[in-house]
Amino acid sequence: MNVTIIGGGSWATALIKILSEKNIKIKWWLRDLEAINHIKKHHHNPQYLSSVELHPSKIKPYHNLKEALKNTDWVILAIPAAFIESAISEVNPELFVGKKIVSGVKGIVPSCNMLVTDWFSKKYNVAKDQIAAIAGPCHAEEIALEKQSYLTIASEGILTAKEFAALLSCRFVKTAYINDIDGVEYAAVMKNIVAMACGITHGLGAGDNFQAVMVSNAMLEIERFVNKISPSEREINSSAYLGDLLVTAYSQFSRNRTFGNMIGRGYSVKTAQMELNMIAEGYYATKSIHEINKNLEVKMPILEFVYGVLYKNQSLLKAFEVLKEQLV
Protein backbone atom coordinates (compact mmCIF):
# COMPACT_ATOMS: atom_id res chain seq x y z
CA MET A 1 0.00 0.00 0.00
CA ASN A 2 1.39 3.42 -1.01
CA VAL A 3 0.03 6.74 0.18
CA THR A 4 1.05 10.14 -1.20
CA ILE A 5 0.66 13.21 0.99
CA ILE A 6 0.67 16.63 -0.62
CA GLY A 7 1.66 19.47 1.73
CA GLY A 8 4.40 20.06 4.25
CA GLY A 9 2.61 21.82 7.13
CA SER A 10 1.31 20.76 10.54
CA TRP A 11 -1.60 18.67 9.35
CA ALA A 12 0.43 16.80 6.73
CA THR A 13 3.06 16.03 9.39
CA ALA A 14 0.40 14.85 11.85
CA LEU A 15 -1.23 12.60 9.24
CA ILE A 16 2.17 11.14 8.45
CA LYS A 17 2.69 10.38 12.12
CA ILE A 18 -0.65 8.55 12.24
CA LEU A 19 -0.01 6.62 9.03
CA SER A 20 3.50 5.69 10.18
CA GLU A 21 1.80 3.44 12.71
CA LYS A 22 0.79 1.26 9.77
CA ASN A 23 2.81 -0.97 7.52
CA ILE A 24 2.62 1.29 4.46
CA LYS A 25 4.93 3.39 2.31
CA ILE A 26 4.41 7.14 2.46
CA LYS A 27 5.47 9.44 -0.38
CA TRP A 28 5.51 12.98 0.90
CA TRP A 29 5.52 16.04 -1.38
CA LEU A 30 6.74 19.31 0.11
CA ARG A 31 7.42 22.49 -1.83
CA ASP A 32 10.28 23.51 0.45
CA LEU A 33 13.55 21.93 -0.69
CA GLU A 34 15.39 22.96 2.47
CA ALA A 35 12.78 21.18 4.57
CA ILE A 36 13.16 18.06 2.41
CA ASN A 37 16.92 18.03 2.92
CA HIS A 38 16.46 18.56 6.65
CA ILE A 39 13.96 15.69 6.86
CA LYS A 40 16.29 13.36 4.95
CA LYS A 41 19.18 14.19 7.27
CA HIS A 42 17.52 14.68 10.66
CA HIS A 43 14.16 12.82 10.31
CA HIS A 44 12.13 15.76 11.62
CA ASN A 45 10.13 18.50 9.85
CA PRO A 46 12.11 21.66 10.70
CA GLN A 47 9.18 24.11 10.77
CA TYR A 48 6.03 22.20 11.72
CA LEU A 49 5.56 19.68 14.56
CA SER A 50 9.33 19.38 14.72
CA SER A 51 9.15 16.94 17.64
CA VAL A 52 7.57 14.25 15.45
CA GLU A 53 10.04 11.56 14.41
CA LEU A 54 9.80 10.73 10.71
CA HIS A 55 10.89 7.15 10.04
CA PRO A 56 13.02 7.04 6.87
CA SER A 57 12.12 3.39 6.27
CA LYS A 58 8.49 4.39 5.80
CA ILE A 59 8.57 7.99 4.57
CA LYS A 60 10.18 9.31 1.40
CA PRO A 61 10.07 13.08 0.83
CA TYR A 62 9.73 14.37 -2.76
CA HIS A 63 10.19 17.73 -4.39
CA ASN A 64 8.80 16.51 -7.72
CA LEU A 65 5.05 16.14 -7.37
CA LYS A 66 4.65 14.00 -10.48
CA GLU A 67 7.15 11.48 -9.11
CA ALA A 68 5.38 11.47 -5.75
CA LEU A 69 2.09 10.63 -7.47
CA LYS A 70 3.38 7.62 -9.42
CA ASN A 71 2.44 4.12 -8.17
CA THR A 72 0.33 5.21 -5.28
CA ASP A 73 -3.09 4.09 -4.04
CA TRP A 74 -4.26 7.08 -1.96
CA VAL A 75 -3.52 10.77 -2.43
CA ILE A 76 -4.05 13.01 0.58
CA LEU A 77 -4.41 16.76 0.08
CA ALA A 78 -3.11 18.74 3.07
CA ILE A 79 -2.47 22.24 1.73
CA PRO A 80 -4.61 25.25 2.67
CA ALA A 81 -7.44 25.68 0.15
CA ALA A 82 -6.23 29.10 -0.97
CA PHE A 83 -3.02 27.57 -2.37
CA ILE A 84 -4.16 24.18 -3.55
CA GLU A 85 -4.86 25.19 -7.14
CA SER A 86 -1.41 26.67 -7.70
CA ALA A 87 0.30 23.83 -5.84
CA ILE A 88 -1.08 21.05 -8.04
CA SER A 89 -1.71 22.97 -11.28
CA GLU A 90 1.20 21.26 -13.08
CA VAL A 91 -0.23 17.77 -12.53
CA ASN A 92 -1.70 15.98 -15.52
CA PRO A 93 -5.17 14.59 -14.58
CA GLU A 94 -4.03 11.16 -15.80
CA LEU A 95 -1.82 10.89 -12.72
CA PHE A 96 -4.93 10.74 -10.56
CA VAL A 97 -6.65 7.98 -12.57
CA GLY A 98 -7.45 4.90 -10.46
CA LYS A 99 -6.39 6.58 -7.22
CA LYS A 100 -8.50 7.45 -4.25
CA ILE A 101 -8.31 11.03 -3.09
CA VAL A 102 -8.67 12.27 0.50
CA SER A 103 -8.97 15.90 1.47
CA GLY A 104 -7.65 16.97 4.85
CA VAL A 105 -8.39 20.57 3.90
CA LYS A 106 -10.92 22.63 5.85
CA GLY A 107 -11.39 25.47 3.42
CA ILE A 108 -13.01 26.69 0.21
CA VAL A 109 -11.17 27.13 -3.12
CA PRO A 110 -11.41 30.93 -3.42
CA SER A 111 -11.36 31.28 -7.23
CA CYS A 112 -14.61 29.29 -7.60
CA ASN A 113 -15.98 29.25 -4.02
CA MET A 114 -16.18 25.45 -4.15
CA LEU A 115 -15.50 22.79 -1.55
CA VAL A 116 -12.10 21.23 -2.13
CA THR A 117 -13.57 17.82 -2.96
CA ASP A 118 -16.11 19.28 -5.44
CA TRP A 119 -13.41 21.36 -7.09
CA PHE A 120 -11.08 18.35 -7.29
CA SER A 121 -13.78 16.07 -8.66
CA LYS A 122 -14.68 18.59 -11.39
CA LYS A 123 -11.17 19.63 -12.34
CA TYR A 124 -9.61 16.16 -12.41
CA ASN A 125 -12.71 14.23 -13.44
CA VAL A 126 -12.60 11.91 -10.42
CA ALA A 127 -15.96 10.46 -9.30
CA LYS A 128 -17.10 11.83 -5.96
CA ASP A 129 -17.42 8.33 -4.51
CA GLN A 130 -13.64 7.93 -4.95
CA ILE A 131 -13.02 11.03 -2.84
CA ALA A 132 -13.17 11.34 0.95
CA ALA A 133 -12.75 14.13 3.49
CA ILE A 134 -11.21 13.95 6.97
CA ALA A 135 -13.49 15.51 9.58
CA GLY A 136 -13.61 15.79 13.34
CA PRO A 137 -12.02 17.67 16.21
CA CYS A 138 -8.31 17.10 15.91
CA HIS A 139 -5.40 19.45 16.34
CA ALA A 140 -2.12 18.38 14.78
CA GLU A 141 -0.26 19.39 17.93
CA GLU A 142 -2.19 16.82 20.00
CA ILE A 143 -1.48 14.11 17.44
CA ALA A 144 2.21 14.92 17.88
CA LEU A 145 1.72 14.25 21.61
CA GLU A 146 -0.25 11.04 20.91
CA LYS A 147 -3.27 12.36 22.77
CA GLN A 148 -6.40 10.28 22.19
CA SER A 149 -8.24 11.72 19.19
CA TYR A 150 -11.28 10.90 17.03
CA LEU A 151 -11.64 11.40 13.28
CA THR A 152 -14.60 10.86 10.98
CA ILE A 153 -14.03 10.02 7.33
CA ALA A 154 -16.79 11.10 4.97
CA SER A 155 -17.40 10.00 1.39
CA GLU A 156 -20.36 9.46 -0.91
CA GLY A 157 -18.70 6.10 -1.55
CA ILE A 158 -19.17 4.47 1.81
CA LEU A 159 -16.53 1.83 0.95
CA THR A 160 -14.01 4.58 0.26
CA ALA A 161 -14.82 6.14 3.64
CA LYS A 162 -14.64 2.78 5.41
CA GLU A 163 -11.29 1.83 3.83
CA PHE A 164 -9.66 5.14 4.68
CA ALA A 165 -11.10 5.13 8.19
CA ALA A 166 -9.44 1.74 8.71
CA LEU A 167 -6.15 3.08 7.36
CA LEU A 168 -6.20 6.05 9.73
CA SER A 169 -7.20 4.27 12.92
CA CYS A 170 -4.30 3.62 15.28
CA ARG A 171 -3.28 3.43 18.97
CA PHE A 172 -4.29 7.02 19.64
CA VAL A 173 -6.83 7.73 16.87
CA LYS A 174 -10.27 6.18 16.71
CA THR A 175 -12.09 6.58 13.43
CA ALA A 176 -15.67 6.46 12.18
CA TYR A 177 -17.13 6.88 8.69
CA ILE A 178 -20.21 8.55 7.23
CA ASN A 179 -21.46 9.59 3.78
CA ASP A 180 -22.16 13.30 4.44
CA ILE A 181 -19.01 14.65 2.78
CA ASP A 182 -20.47 18.04 1.78
CA GLY A 183 -22.03 18.53 5.22
CA VAL A 184 -18.81 17.90 7.15
CA GLU A 185 -16.76 20.05 4.79
CA TYR A 186 -19.10 23.05 4.99
CA ALA A 187 -19.37 22.66 8.78
CA ALA A 188 -15.56 22.57 9.06
CA VAL A 189 -15.23 25.70 6.94
CA MET A 190 -17.80 27.48 9.08
CA LYS A 191 -16.24 26.48 12.41
CA ASN A 192 -13.01 28.19 11.38
CA ILE A 193 -14.94 31.43 10.87
CA VAL A 194 -16.64 31.02 14.25
CA ALA A 195 -13.27 30.37 15.95
CA MET A 196 -12.04 33.66 14.49
CA ALA A 197 -15.13 35.38 15.92
CA CYS A 198 -14.31 33.83 19.33
CA GLY A 199 -10.77 35.16 19.07
CA ILE A 200 -11.85 38.63 17.96
CA THR A 201 -14.39 39.03 20.76
CA HIS A 202 -11.97 37.60 23.31
CA GLY A 203 -9.42 40.17 22.13
CA LEU A 204 -12.08 42.83 22.69
CA GLY A 205 -12.54 41.73 26.27
CA ALA A 206 -15.51 39.32 26.09
CA GLY A 207 -15.41 36.50 28.62
CA ASP A 208 -16.45 32.86 28.83
CA ASN A 209 -20.12 33.79 29.35
CA PHE A 210 -20.23 35.56 26.01
CA GLN A 211 -18.27 32.87 24.21
CA ALA A 212 -20.61 30.12 25.40
CA VAL A 213 -23.55 32.05 23.98
CA MET A 214 -21.76 32.75 20.74
CA VAL A 215 -20.73 29.13 20.21
CA SER A 216 -24.32 27.98 20.88
CA ASN A 217 -25.61 30.53 18.37
CA ALA A 218 -22.85 29.48 15.98
CA MET A 219 -23.99 25.87 15.99
CA LEU A 220 -27.47 27.01 14.97
CA GLU A 221 -25.96 29.25 12.30
CA ILE A 222 -23.88 26.37 10.94
CA GLU A 223 -26.90 24.08 10.96
CA ARG A 224 -29.04 26.63 9.05
CA PHE A 225 -26.31 27.12 6.46
CA VAL A 226 -25.39 23.46 5.97
CA ASN A 227 -29.03 22.36 5.76
CA LYS A 228 -29.72 25.01 3.12
CA ILE A 229 -26.69 24.38 0.94
CA SER A 230 -26.68 20.60 1.29
CA PRO A 231 -30.01 19.31 2.63
CA SER A 232 -29.63 15.87 4.19
CA GLU A 233 -30.37 13.94 7.37
CA ARG A 234 -27.38 14.48 9.65
CA GLU A 235 -26.41 14.27 13.32
CA ILE A 236 -25.21 17.86 13.53
CA ASN A 237 -24.38 17.48 17.25
CA SER A 238 -21.95 14.63 16.62
CA SER A 239 -18.20 15.11 16.88
CA ALA A 240 -17.63 15.52 13.13
CA TYR A 241 -19.65 18.75 13.25
CA LEU A 242 -20.19 20.10 16.79
CA GLY A 243 -16.97 18.55 18.16
CA ASP A 244 -14.92 20.27 15.48
CA LEU A 245 -16.56 23.60 16.30
CA LEU A 246 -15.90 23.18 20.02
CA VAL A 247 -12.23 22.26 19.72
CA THR A 248 -11.49 25.10 17.33
CA ALA A 249 -13.44 27.67 19.32
CA TYR A 250 -11.83 26.76 22.64
CA SER A 251 -8.40 25.25 21.99
CA GLN A 252 -5.14 27.04 22.66
CA PHE A 253 -3.85 25.37 19.50
CA SER A 254 -6.43 26.88 17.14
CA ARG A 255 -4.78 29.07 14.53
CA ASN A 256 -8.14 30.60 13.59
CA ARG A 257 -8.89 31.59 17.18
CA THR A 258 -5.36 32.93 17.67
CA PHE A 259 -5.59 34.93 14.45
CA GLY A 260 -8.97 36.38 15.51
CA ASN A 261 -7.60 37.25 18.93
CA MET A 262 -4.84 39.30 17.33
CA ILE A 263 -7.39 41.14 15.17
CA GLY A 264 -9.48 41.85 18.28
CA ARG A 265 -6.41 43.29 19.95
CA GLY A 266 -5.89 45.70 17.06
CA TYR A 267 -3.43 43.92 14.75
CA SER A 268 -3.89 44.37 10.99
CA VAL A 269 -4.66 41.27 8.93
CA LYS A 270 -1.14 41.33 7.43
CA THR A 271 0.57 41.61 10.81
CA ALA A 272 -1.60 38.87 12.33
CA GLN A 273 -0.82 36.56 9.38
CA MET A 274 2.90 37.21 9.71
CA GLU A 275 2.86 36.74 13.47
CA LEU A 276 0.85 33.49 13.24
CA ASN A 277 3.29 32.04 10.70
CA MET A 278 0.72 29.35 9.91
CA ILE A 279 -2.49 29.50 7.92
CA ALA A 280 -5.85 30.50 9.39
CA GLU A 281 -8.21 29.06 6.75
CA GLY A 282 -11.14 31.04 8.12
CA TYR A 283 -9.72 34.30 6.81
CA TYR A 284 -10.15 33.19 3.18
CA ALA A 285 -13.33 31.22 3.85
CA THR A 286 -15.12 34.24 5.30
CA LYS A 287 -15.13 35.95 1.90
CA SER A 288 -16.16 32.78 0.06
CA ILE A 289 -19.02 31.91 2.40
CA HIS A 290 -20.21 35.54 2.35
CA GLU A 291 -20.33 35.34 -1.46
CA ILE A 292 -22.03 31.93 -1.49
CA ASN A 293 -24.62 33.19 0.97
CA LYS A 294 -25.63 36.11 -1.27
CA ASN A 295 -27.79 33.58 -3.14
CA LEU A 296 -28.81 31.43 -0.18
CA GLU A 297 -29.73 34.33 2.14
CA VAL A 298 -29.28 32.31 5.32
CA LYS A 299 -29.31 34.41 8.49
CA MET A 300 -25.63 34.42 9.55
CA PRO A 301 -24.83 37.18 12.03
CA ILE A 302 -21.51 35.66 13.15
CA LEU A 303 -20.26 35.30 9.57
CA GLU A 304 -21.32 38.90 8.83
CA PHE A 305 -19.56 40.14 11.98
CA VAL A 306 -16.27 38.56 10.88
CA TYR A 307 -16.74 39.64 7.25
CA GLY A 308 -17.41 43.25 8.30
CA VAL A 309 -14.32 43.37 10.48
CA LEU A 310 -11.93 41.62 8.06
CA TYR A 311 -13.15 42.77 4.67
CA LYS A 312 -15.13 45.98 5.20
CA ASN A 313 -12.84 47.60 7.71
CA GLN A 314 -15.77 48.05 10.11
CA SER A 315 -15.03 49.48 13.52
CA LEU A 316 -14.40 46.54 15.86
CA LEU A 317 -16.46 48.03 18.66
CA LYS A 318 -19.43 48.93 16.44
CA ALA A 319 -19.45 45.52 14.80
CA PHE A 320 -19.27 43.91 18.27
CA GLU A 321 -22.29 45.97 19.42
CA VAL A 322 -24.32 44.77 16.42
CA LEU A 323 -23.30 41.16 17.07
CA LYS A 324 -24.25 41.37 20.76
CA GLU A 325 -27.74 42.54 19.77
CA GLN A 326 -28.20 39.60 17.39
CA LEU A 327 -27.23 36.78 19.74
CA VAL A 328 -29.74 35.21 22.07
Ligand X SMILES: NC(=O)C1=CN([C@@H]2O[C@H](COP(=O)(O)OP(=O)(O)OC[C@H]3O[C@@H](n4cnc5c(N)ncnc54)[C@H](OP(=O)(O)O)[C@@H]3O)[C@@H](O)[C@H]2O)C=CC1
Ligand Y SMILES: O=C(CO)COP(=O)(O)O
Binding residues: 83, 106, 140, 255-256
Find the shortest distance in angstroms from Cβ 22 to ligand X: 19
Binding of ligand Y by 9 (CB under 6 A): no
Say if residues 264 and 207 touch (Cβ distance below 8 Å).
no
Kindly state the smallest distance separating residue 49's Cβ from ligand Y, in Å.
12
Phi, then psi, of 266 in degrees rounded to 5: 105, 5
CA angle at 180 for the pair 100 and 23, rounded to the nearest 5°? 35
Q: What residues form the annotated binding site for NAD(+)?
A: 83, 140, 255
Contact of residue 20 among ligand Y, ligand X, none (CB under 5-8 Å per partner type): none
Question: Which position's Cβ is nearest ligand X?
Answer: 9
Residues 90-119 that bind ligand Y (CB under 6 A): 106
By C-beta, is 185 or 221 nearer to ligand Y?
185
* Strand pairing report for 149-154 and 131-135: antiparallel
Paired with 102 in beta bridges are 76, 132
If the CB atoms of residues 141 and 204 are measured against ligand X, the closer one turns out to be 141
Smallest Cα–Cα separation from 306: which of 314, 297, 295? 314
Residue numbers annotated as active site: 191
Distance of CA 110 to the CA centre of its chain: 14
From the list ligand Y, ligand X, none, which binds 168 (C-beta under 5 to 8 Å, kind-based)? none
Among 100, 128, 139, 234, binds ligand Y (CB under 6 A): 139
Tell me how far, at minimum, the Cβ of 78 lies from ligand X, in Å.
Answer: 5
Distance CA 285, CA 304 (A): 12
Query: Judged by CB, which is closer to ligand Y: 27, or 257?
Result: 257
Please report, for residues 103, 183, 184, 231, 295, the alpha-carbon distance to residue 235 in angstroms, rounded to integers and kept in the order given. Answer: 21, 10, 10, 12, 25
Q: Is 132 helix (H, G, I), strand (E, B) or coil?
A: strand
> How far apart are alpha carbons 59 and 325 in whole angstroms?
52
Rule CB under 6 A: which residues touch ligand X?
7-12, 31-32, 47-48, 78-81, 83, 86-87, 104-107, 138-140, 278-279, 281
Nearer to ligand Y, 253 or 311 (CB): 253
Establish how many alpha carbons lie within 13 A of residue 125's alpha carbon, considering only the half-sphere containing its beta carbon: 5
Tell me which of ligand Y, ligand X, none is bound by residue 8, counting a contact when its beta carbon lies within the kind-specific cut-off of 5 to 8 angstroms. ligand X
Residue 174 main-chain phi, psi, to 5 deg = -100, 135
> Phi then psi for 108, rounded to 5 degrees?
-115, 140
The SS3 assignment for 60 reads strand
32 binds, among ligand X, ligand Y, none (CB under 5 to 8 A by kind): ligand X
Task: Provide, rounded to whole angstroms, the least separation between the CB of residue 317 and ligand X.
Answer: 29
Residue numbers 259-298 binding ligand Y by CB under 6 A:
281
Q: Which does 248 bind (CB under 5 to 8 A by kind): ligand X, ligand Y, none?
A: ligand Y
Min dist. Cβ of residue 159 to ligand X (A): 23
* Largest Cα span, the chain: 57
Cα 64 to Cα 29: distance, rounded to the nearest angstrom: 7
- x/- letters, 221..260, toward ligand Y (CB under 6 A): -----------------------x--xx----xxxx----
Residue 256 touches which of ligand X, ligand Y, none (Cβ within 5-8 Å per kind): ligand Y
CA atoms of 26 and 75, how far apart (whole Å): 10
Least separation, in Å, of the C-beta of 300 and ligand X? Answer: 20
C-beta separation of 117 from 131 below 8 A: yes
Residue numbers at the binding site for ligand Y (CB under 6 A): 106, 137-139, 192, 195, 244, 247-248, 253-256, 281
